[in-house]
Chain A
Amino acid sequence: MRRATVAGLLLTALAVTSLAAQDTTRAVLRLVYDNPKLRPALMVLPAPGLDSVRAIVERDLDYSDRFEVIPIPVGTPAPSAPLNFAPYRAMNVALLVELRRGGAGVVVRLHDVASGTLRQEATVGVETAGVAAGRLGIHALADELVRWATGLPGIAATRILFISDNRVWRTDSDGYGPTPVTPAGRTAYSPAWSPDGRRFGFTEFLEGKWQVVLQTLATGTRIVFPTTATTVNITPAFSPDGRRIAFSRVVDRSYSLHQASVADLCCVERLTAGRFAENLSPTYSPDGRRIAFVTDRAGSPQIYAMSADGTDQELLVPYDYGVSGASFAPDWSPDGNTIVFHRGAGGSFQVMVFDLATERVRQVTSEGRNEDASWGPDGRHLVFVSNRTGRGQLHVIDLETSRVRMIRTPATALLPAWSRRLGGTP
């Protein structure tokens, strides 16, 4: 039974019993949207001449996991003007998306089926041929629709960096167009987005050293971060304002955390001290004030946190000494409330989410080996690597509904990083 049926019945019942349907319906719809288990049924109407745009928008709305997206039944005619809502009410659909050519681009309309009203419309100038450059614009359109319907923008206009064949690759978050962005013949690792979405950092192995490289996506221009060509530097991460970069660097044979100024391309300062512990994988809190990281100073690698100046270092994610597996690859959530990481469990690795307020650890994967999760900008989707299909591939999970989808890549994929919202410009 479709979840939409419950919502639909609820809406229909209210529409019948209340003449002043507008306010009540809105209140009910908000109730429905807030409960992830009761998602409004949504349909994207046929859009003659805009089939590829329609397909992309429909998929984006489905991937937002906030709607029960109903595929168009075969034989559904193009929508008439004005829209006839009756058949959609009969199908318990709550929302209709209408796309038409018009004006300077595409006219987008979101309709409330129960009240039979237009909720919102806009004309968006997108490249309608659906070519690569135009896809981000279409994704941004879908993200706006999500915001109209739920109050929060979608995350379709985002990209994911990952490693495959020792190169950094980029893919749209719907899995379209995986493309290498660093050259073959070198070894690249640990990609990290600059928050402005225009550049990324990564480490590259050259003449026995891992150095930090900053690369601009649009131009391919690279800068080797000064002073990182002379020793081993791994696991870079940008601060949320993009002005600093943290990474692990070998000093006296041990890996210790350092921070440098991206803005000025200099000024490496050491954050962790001590010779016989390894420290790596820093991640900044969204306010930039703290850094969570991995350290084995107490024996097994676990997640600690410190102030961004290196003071107040303490255990962050609790564990049972001698029982819990080692913990790796923390990523601080966009709202600052949780940390995702992976931990050894049952002879494999599983993705875990730690809640800072309750101090509880929740396991969110169980099938296969799962690791290296990165938050989507809505704080409810994660991209991670799983070998549940036989080889390491990117998967996306929605923590609210537990829905998992796979992103297909040509070869084994590792170490994904999800960008912030990129807007409509490629």
Chain B
Amino acid sequence: MRLSLFSLVMAAAILTGCSKKPAAVAPTPVTEPQPAAPATPGSSQPTATADRAACEMAITTAVAEIGRAVNFDTDKYEVRAEDTPTLDSKVEVLRTHGAIRIRITGHADERYTDEYNLILGTRRAEAVKDYFRQKGIAASLIETASLGETAPLDPAHSEEAWAKNRRAEFSVIAGRETLAAQIAGCR
């Protein structure tokens, strides 16, 4: 009962892509590598709780890493150097949990013309996808989409808002069950 509820909560978190930082647990972009696989339930009782907590934390972190957006410069679609650590964390998650498929959705700020911004969004999503492919992630695991300027994070007409809106967002579109099973495997 408790198990499946937890999985449900995690699945929900994965679905929303965790673009907002989850409450207490989310770290700033991690530089140390993630554990290669969740720890299988140990037989030694005294450390079972600690192992499980570490295991669940690892997966929560992985999900948060997937969901974190990256931003772009005005009128540009190239991946910025400062975003590569974030993208590298995502690469690690994708390598670790090989059954996940993700969608990268590119967005633009409101300033350029409406319909052409759909293309800018596509270019941004494709640029991030190219980065992942260069790191060895199979193209079949990654979908791209564009919402142009139709879904701003911040509707204000300011440089600050525009900078937030120029982004690529990430969501898991398949393989959620695998993650849930891996969380269940933490028990």
Contact = CB atoms under 8 A, between A and B. Distances in A.
Interface of A: 166, 187, 189-190, 205, 208-210, 232, 234-235, 250, 253, 255, 278, 280-281, 294, 301, 326, 328-329, 342, 349, 371-372, 414-415
Q: Which of A187, A232, A329, A414 has the most CB of B within 10 A?
A: A232
Nearest to B130: A253
A234 B145 CA distance: 12
Given A208-B103, A250-B122, A253-B126, A372 B150 contact: no
B147 A414 contact: no
| Of listed A187, A234, A235, residue having the most chain B CB within 10 A | A234
B114 interface: yes
A232 B115 contact: no
B51 interface: no
B115 A281 contact: yes
B118 A234 contact: yes
A187 B147 contact: yes
A189 B115 CA distance: 8
Contact of A208 (B114, B118, B143, B148): B143
Contacts of B144: 208
Given A187-B151, A189-B150, A372 B143 contact: no
B147 A205 contact: yes
B114 A372 contact: yes
Nearest to B155: A412
B105 interface: yes
Contacts of A253: 122, 126
A189 B147 CA distance: 10
Which of B105, B113, B173 has most chain A Cβ within 10 Å?
B113
A349 B113 contact: yes
A329 B115 contact: yes
Interface of B: 103, 105, 113-116, 118-119, 122, 126, 143-148, 150-151, 173
Nearest to A387: B157
28 contacts: A166-B150, A187-B147, A189-B115, A189-B118, A189-B148, A189-B150, A190-B115, A205-B145, A205-B150, A208-B143, A208-B173, A209-B145, A232-B122, A232-B146, A234-B115, A235-B115, A250-B122, A255-B119, A280-B115, A281-B115, A328-B115, A328-B116, A329-B115, A342-B113, A349-B113, A371-B114, A414-B114, A415-B115
A280 B119 contact: yes
Given A232-B146, A278-B119, A372-B113, 17 more contacts: A187-B150, A189-B115, A189-B150, A205-B150, A208-B144, A208-B145, A210-B118, A234-B115, A250-B122, A253-B122, A255-B122, A294-B116, A301-B116, A329-B115, A349-B113, A414-B114, A415-B115
Contacts of B115: 189-190, 234-235, 280-281, 328-329, 415
Contacts of A329: 113, 115
Contacts of A235: 115
Contacts, number: 56
A372 B148 CA distance: 16
Contacts of A371: 113-114
Contacts of A166: 150
A40 B47 CA distance: 95
A282 B180 CA distance: 46
Contacts of A255: 119, 122
A371 B145 CA distance: 25
A281 B115 CA distance: 8
Interface-central residue, A205, A208, A250, A280, by most chain B CB under 10 Å:
A208
Contacts of B126: 253
Contacts of B116: 280, 294, 301, 326, 328
Contacts of B113: 328-329, 342, 349, 371-372
A166 B146 CA distance: 14
A18 to B, nearest CB: 56
A156 B108 CA distance: 37
B119 A415 contact: no
Most chain A beta-carbon contacts within 10 A, residue among B119, B143, B145 = B119
The 10 closest A-B pairs by CB, nearest first: A208-B145, A328-B113, A278-B119, A208-B103, A187-B150, A234-B118, A235-B115, A208-B143, A414-B114, A253-B126
A342 B173 CA distance: 38
Contacts of B146: 210, 232
Contacts of A301: 116
Nearest to A391: B157
A187 B113 CA distance: 17
Nearest to B171: A208
A235 B113 CA distance: 13
A328 B115 CA distance: 9
Contacts of B151: 187
Contacts of B114: 189, 371-372, 414-415
A311 B30 CA distance: 54
A328 B148 CA distance: 15
A294 to B, nearest CB: 8
A415 B150 CA distance: 12
A414 B116 CA distance: 13
A372 B116 CA distance: 11
Contacts of A209: 145
Contacts of A415: 114-115
Nearest to A385: B114
A28 to B, nearest CB: 46
A209 B147 CA distance: 9
A259 to B, nearest CB: 18
